[in-house]
Chain A
């Protein structure tokens, strides 16, 4: 075994120990504990109050469009900061490149806006 692979041996041992720890503690608990289920015990736990309604419910997921638009600006900022710090070095070439980049991203926003994504209805 090469040194390179041996250094990964630690990771493997650590992973094995982690799995073993969980397996032993859960397994021991299972062997030792008494098992007397009742209807009360199997209820969903809602802070000690009797649960209301089903455990499954649907959530509004229309936030995801805003999340997507946010990611767009996030990425934009990610690229603009390093560019702005070294503006002189990149010169005209960098300016044009950044203009094209921002133009294409803005295009996405314009498209989303015209398609009515920004209206909360």
Chain B
């Protein structure tokens, strides 16, 4: 019999962004099961917020520590501890904070009790952070599944409603399908390179490109299908409008921000580090994905009547912009994509925050037509003002974070010589601006419906909106700090020690 096994070294401080979320979720679930009465339910939002803040604290501490230390891989090279992971973990935790602020005001009028929504938000966020910090394809898949399975349940949280059931089932079936693609891609890549570790795979590809590349390219393509589905890039976007429409708006907010950030983290880490030697091969793929997302997202958004569907298609358009940065693959491009993801987190959660406030319980939850916004400026000037700023930011109006983000990714794409993509990006941002302006005009120029009920803005939603608008404007005026941070967060290949 051999001696004791070698226990891999674990850097617990580096894992704090993940472990805090998981432990928080487990504790909340335990408390909900053991403590009688409604006490747990009442403190759940505050608890979730503090857990997310601990995770953010862990990420910030990690960021500062990595200013001195070199990035490294821990747990036997399975998890990457670098500034890239810390940056995405911060964005995911911010999405948890903002969505949690929205949740109570949505749950209470609909008679939902229990803490499951908060637990699932935390677990899903933990999965997202695992995905962002994965340095091994198996860990990447694990993170993606933890993220997705929680999201499937969250999408159907309002299970009594028809639209929610449709959303959950569609997301689950298509999501399961795309996971299978991803897994098969991992298997093929293992066959081609003999490892699932991203560092070793990158070293192998940099040293010796196999002459028979079929297996390698097929694996990479399948991997891209799985991740492109998660971020809803055209042509893998079909689920997004229905799911965004049917899910509870606070969940949709989380889905559009955290899940997208995590999915792009996976794409960026894979393409920019491990598969950098194959740039010639993956660039055309990203080019087509970006172009299709930009065009379809903006054009189809115009013809929608449901505001949630409009925002869903516009988020597909934003995926196109973020893919511009991926295409560039340079420090500037990756930084631009990361900045875009962080800025978009606040824009989209804020927008769906307004949707949350304006959805009324009952059968109306299945529909959210543009007419809901008629004369909002006269009824709730502050709410209309906040939504206007968030929409203009998504359109890319100067002095908002949206402008800076679009400017950087288009600049990075031009630097790499793809003028077509840059021109298309600018044209489509004009097209989608007309959609955003349509909502703004409905709020300001159409008279309100005199029979409409009074709109109540819950305190949590108000704080969330204030945060979203504040960050969006602040990052528009003084973007340099966030931009520098995003550029510092370039992922690096963490080979075996």
Chain A residues within 8 Å of B, Cβ to Cβ: 2, 88-91, 93-94, 104, 107, 110-111, 113-115
B363 within 8 A of A: no
Cβ-defined contact, B30 with A107, below 8 A = yes
Q: Knowing A89-B2, A104-B26 touch, does A2 contact B33 (C-beta < 8 A)? A: no
B213 within 8 A of A: no
Chain A contacts for B34, CB-based, 8 A: 110, 114
Bound-state CA distance A73–B33 (Å) is 19
B4 within 8 A of A: yes
Given contacts A91-B5, A110-B30, A111-B32, 14 further A-B contacts (CB under 8 A): A88-B1, A89-B4, A90-B5, A93-B5, A93-B7, A104-B26, A107-B29, A107-B30, A110-B33, A110-B34, A111-B30, A113-B33, A114-B33, A114-B34
Q: Which residue of B lies closest to A92 (CB)?
A: B4
Query: Closest Cβ of chain B: how far from A119's Cβ, in Å?
Result: 15
Kindly state the interface size class of chain B when it binds its partner.
10 to 19
Chain A contacts for B7, CB-based, 8 A: 93
Bound-state CA distance A70–B361 (Å) is 37
Q: Knowing A2-B212, A104-B26, A107-B26 touch, does A90 contact B4 (C-beta < 8 A)? A: yes
Bound-state CA distance A98–B198 (Å) is 28
Q: Knowing A2-B212, A104-B26 touch, does A111 contact B33 (C-beta < 8 A)? A: yes
Q: Which residue of B lies closest to A2 (CB)?
A: B212
Q: Which residue of A lies closest to B212 (CB)?
A: A2
Interface string of B426-441 (1 = CB under 8 A from A): 0000000000000000
Q: Is the interface of A mostly helix, strand, loop or mixed?
A: helix
Query: Closest Cβ of chain A: how far from B489's Cβ, in Å?
Result: 31
Q: Which of A90, A94, A113, A114 has the most CB of B within 10 A?
A: A114
Bound-state CA distance A90–B6 (Å) is 9
Which of B4, B33, B212 is in CB contact (< 8 Å) with A91? B4
Query: Closest Cβ of chain B: how far from A79's Cβ, in Å?
Result: 15
Bound-state CA distance A94–B7 (Å) is 9
Chain B contacts for A113, CB-based, 8 A: 33
Bound-state CA distance A92–B212 (Å) is 46
Interface string of B1-29 (1 = CB under 8 A from A): 11111010000000000000000001001
Query: Closest Cβ of chain A: how far from B146's Cβ, in Å?
Result: 13
Q: Which 9 A-B pairs have the closest CB atoms?
A: A114-B33, A111-B33, A91-B4, A93-B7, A110-B33, A89-B5, A111-B29, A107-B30, A89-B4
Query: Closest Cβ of chain A: how far from B168's Cβ, in Å?
Result: 16
Chain B contacts for A114, CB-based, 8 A: 33-34
Q: Which of B2, B30, B32, B33 has the most CB of A within 10 A?
A: B33
Q: Which residue of A lies closest to B30 (CB)?
A: A107
Bound-state CA distance A39–B30 (Å) is 61
Q: Which residue of B lies closest to A110 (CB)?
A: B33
Query: Closest Cβ of chain A: how far from B142's Cβ, in Å?
Result: 15
Bound-state CA distance A88–B4 (Å) is 7
